Chains A and B, each alone.
Chain A
Amino acid sequence: MIIPLLLSTILALTPVWESKSVHFSWESKGEGYVYEFETYKDWELTNLYFKLPPITKTYIDVVYHDSGKYYQRIKYYNPNTPEIYSYWYLGQFYLNLQEGILSEDGPENPPPIEDESENEIEQDDEVNTPNENTQETLEQIKFQLPTIPDSREKIADIFKKEDTQTKKEIDNSDICKISVFKNEETKIKEWNCNINIEVSAIKYIDWDKYYSLEIQGKYPKSIKAEIQIYECKKFSITDINTWNKCKEVLTDTYTGDINLIYFGKIYANNKAGTLTNFNFTDSEFQTRSTFVNDISKQDVKVYFSIYSQFKSKEWIDLTYTTQKSITIPTAVKAAAVKPFSFPLSKLIGVTQWHGCTQYQCPHKGIDFGARLHNVIAVGDGTVADIGFDKYGGECNQGGRYIIVKHTNGMYSAYIHLDSFLVKKGNSVKKGQVIGISGNSGMKNCQPLGYHLHFETRKGLSSSTHTDPVKYVNVDWNLIPTLQYKQFPGRLTGDNPHPNF
């Protein structure tokens, strides 16, 4: 068994060295073996600093020209079978030429220089000291080393400042104590933090065929946190706990404010409702879901997914989930205060809202992305007009239309129809099929896409148009804007839910 030793393990007498010769020796591995000496700058021996030509001697003196931490090993093999080789670890040492320090880890276990910072943490490798007693004359090997600035003092200052800051903030009882384990992704080990989420309004509505629950509230935009970051200690040949397993070590601590990004959904008896609207701003939220059955007697919660990112040594992403129990009031019946029904036999999304949109200003109605669907009278009344509109000659035509005068004095218009199922003067009942939607008409000399242009008017003239959202009794949260991700302009106008 050989025990390589460093030439000196404590402070050298000379206060400043230009370079330092370090002696290494090892046991002979057998007759005819050769040895290649390697120095690394990292403890997992992946970052080769230099390698010396093969020798047959079992010792060597190596001159180091720069400060730093070094890790050594020899590769040994028989030249007759060079493909069969082994390594022997010679240990590590710390060299500070400026202060004349050559030691296992430095007298004050100094922080590492430059890129080695990650490798220094939890350093508990056993250090083998080169044999100081070897007296043989040694070949002095010269090599050029790159210049690495000694930034330890600067780093030490930063550590001091951070320590002071951390101590101050730890005294603050509001501070959240979080610890995370960072591997391929970051997992929260401990979350000692109460995020105060307040519910300010709950709307529970019975829509006959389903129920909707809308919850509004507030939450903190950011929190003060002290976050301890753990990682697997990198492989160390001298630490068995790092061999094929993860030894968690504290590698960093972050102290400061972190911003929180929220998203939440409503669950009843652990089953999510259908999300029909939401808005999560910096400090306020609104989330709305629909349920097929009455959930007033069920265990209702809002689950919040809270995301944060912060920069420590590296960027860290956190996702934390919390929940808030909700007590639901008795369902309120959806008030049928709006006079009209939906103009199609099924709920269909919108391609252009009423109002001043990106495409038309004003757009006098709502365009529903219907192909050949049943168009229904939105209220009782009489067919006031029917026909084919050619308002703009060859290039701009409204196509087939029906206008109904309702018993409440208002009018509704159904445009670009494929066909009619009523005649002028016919009485119509609310819900009666009066035509089939289509794509009749032209715009900008081009064929129209299939859609129903639907208007509510206070008079016969189109100039008396009103926003149908105000008159059609439907849960508009169930009517999305179609293809708004590709065409964000479609969200414009009097959209009752501007984010979808």
Chain B
Amino acid sequence: MINTKYLPVEVFWIDNTNVLLSSYGYSQLFNTENRDSSVINTCENCIYGYDKNFVYCKYINRDIKSKDQFSTTIEIFDINNQLLYSKDIFQTVAPVKCGSSSILLHTNDPNLEQHSYILDIKKDSLKEIKENIKDTKEWFNNDKTKKIIIGEDKRVWLFKS
């Protein structure tokens, strides 16, 4: 079992040993061999991600009164809090999976029609995708020897094969 303060929204395997458990405002690095753990606190509207580099995505949602306004701003920062990228978006969304090359976004208001999008950083483009939100999640490492799941008991478990 991995002791976590919050259940992760997304899990990133850094390599076959180290894993990033990512949730809004709070992320945790966990070494699956020696079980060392480090906590990364971020702002409430921020979520960490990893794709060759550690980055975090910040989102700002706001009320708008016309269709030519933007209800969301997405920003990407590196670990030194340097702003790498920023984009204003019409849809009310939040990052679900943060990365330096792309971000998976999802509608961030349960009242609204639910949509998922990929924000491509290089192309600076937003594209809607079909993403089935699953309640059962598991994350395998690269060589498929380890997986992390959120168990029925709502705890985070690591399994090794």
Question: Measuring CB to CB, which residues of chain A are less than 8 angstroms from any residue of chain B?
Answer: 261, 263, 275, 278, 280, 307, 309, 311, 315, 317, 351-352, 359, 367, 392-396, 439, 443-449, 451, 453, 483, 485-490, 499-500
Contacts and interface: CB of A to CB of B under 8 A. Distances in A.
A448 B111 contact: yes
A395 B113 contact: no
Interface residues of B, number: 36
A280 B151 CA distance: 14
Contacts of A488: 6-7, 9, 23-24
Contacts of B91: 446
Contacts, number: 94
A446 B63 CA distance: 11
Contacts of A317: 1
Nearest to B150: A485
8 contacts: A309-B35, A352-B110, A359-B111, A443-B112, A446-B92, A449-B111, A449-B112, A483-B133
Nearest to B91: A446
A280 B153 contact: yes
Contacts of B133: 483, 486
Given A445-B64, A487-B110, A261 B1 contact: yes
Nearest to B161: A184
Tell me which of B6, B34, B112, B133 has the highest count of chain A C-beta atoms within 10 A of its own C-beta: B112
Q: From DSSP, what is the main secondary structure of chain B's interface residues?
A: loop
Given A485-B7, A485-B135, A488-B7, A261 B155 contact: yes
B116 to A, nearest CB: 10
B113 A449 contact: yes
At the interface, is chain A mostly helix, strand, loop or mixed? strand
B71 interface: yes
B112 A483 contact: no
Interface string B109-122: 11111100000000
Given A309-B1, A445-B65, A449-B113, 20 more contacts: A261-B1, A261-B155, A394-B66, A395-B67, A443-B111, A444-B64, A445-B64, A445-B69, A446-B92, A447-B112, A453-B111, A485-B7, A485-B150, A486-B106, A486-B135, A487-B108, A488-B9, A488-B24, A490-B110, A499-B154
A393 B64 CA distance: 11
A359 B9 contact: no
B112 A444 contact: yes
B96 interface: yes
A445 B7 contact: no
